[in-house]
Structure 1
């Protein structure tokens, strides 16, 4: 088994390299790793790539619930990874929050379309909704942008089993901004 290197070991190693050697290592990383390619695309080309990555992540999330062909596979980990990868590559907090809310909206729509799922499914949606509400609690601009959608998820979950609707209500009504309205 290979020993995992610490970041300090990697930094020490890289410090001892000259520029040509560094460029060589970075080039090898770029060729071998799609996430590294996406990372450099964001660094070099900026907003256009961020938008493209957002659309790709949104499509991946959507395909787990409502693909264009067939039935949703509900691989929640695939949808969550798409969101997590987007966040890591772009650092776009607003886009990440929107993707998380989209995930909850699609999950709620899925259960309304096909019926109750299971507790694990609803816990995943509640956890993601809680992250969205937490982000909105800290950023008034995010709350302003997503307030209607946050409320609509609660409304659209009415009658859902496993305590999902009640859980959404508890999270939604914990928002401090609601007291000001």
Structure 2
């Protein structure tokens, strides 16, 4: 049996045919079952608490690199999934850039602590750094993040696979040579 893919138009049609009570019941059920739905509505109802959701995301990232016990596994897929989920909820460019840079900072610290990692690790860090810098498009954001991005670039100096060169190039593209 071939499973059909539900698209947005089909979903909208389904929702139009539901009563308000049925819609409330559906949303309440999703709220109970899915953490991402809880986080979404939390930010919608209490936008001032977005930092709390960012902190949870940073905790997932931090635990992958430097857990409270044992050695970090550096499962990049787990850390990047946390960022991806946060990105869906986030309403603030500053908060999203902060989380993305935190990922790179943890990666730089990890490789500085434990030594050279494989090329895919560095490619992931470079990609996230470039994404964060790509989101820094206005002068206010540049003022907020310039020094932090510079520190990441400097902390990566001498690390493997041309990593520091890639970060320097991305930094200079965004902020200019300095």
Aligned counterparts, 1:56-95, within 5 A: 56-95=56-95
Structure 1 residue 144 displacement after superposition: 0.7
Q: What secondary structure, in the 3-state scheme, does the structure 1 residue paired with 2:176 have?
A: helix
Aligned partners of 1:106, 1:88: CA distance in 2, in Å?
22
| CA-atom RMSD in angstroms | 1.4
Partner of 1:172: 171
The aligned counterpart of 2:129 is 129
- The residue number in structure 2 matching 1:145 is 144
Count how many residue pairs are aligned between Structure 1 and Structure 2. 177
Equivalent pair of 1:87/1:93 in contact (CA under 8 Å): no
Per-residue CA deviations over 1:50-103 (Å, capped at 9, x if unaligned) read 121111111111111111111111011111111111121232221110111111
CA distance in structure 2 between the partners assigned to 1:178 and 1:123 by the alignment? 22
Which consecutive residues of structure 2, in runs of 5 or more, have no partner in the other structure?
Answer: none
TM-score by length of 1: 0.92
1:52 corresponds in structure 2 to: 52
- For residues 9 and 25 of structure 2, the distance between their equivalents in structure 1, rounded to whole angstroms, comes to 20
Q: Which position in structure 2 is the counterpart of 1:116?
A: 116
Query: Which residue of 2 is the match for residue 6 of structure 1?
Result: 7
Determine if contact 1:60/1:82 at 8 Å carries over to the other structure: yes
Uncovered stretches (5+) of structure 1, i.e. residues with no partner: none
Aligned-partner Cα distance in 1 for 2:169–2:43? 38
- Distance in 2 (CA, whole Å) between partners of 1:151 and 1:37 is 36
8 Å CA contact 1:126–1:164 kept in 2: the answer is yes
Shift of 1:147: 0.7
**Separation in structure 2 between the aligned mates of residue 162 and residue 87 of structure 1, nearest angstrom:** 29
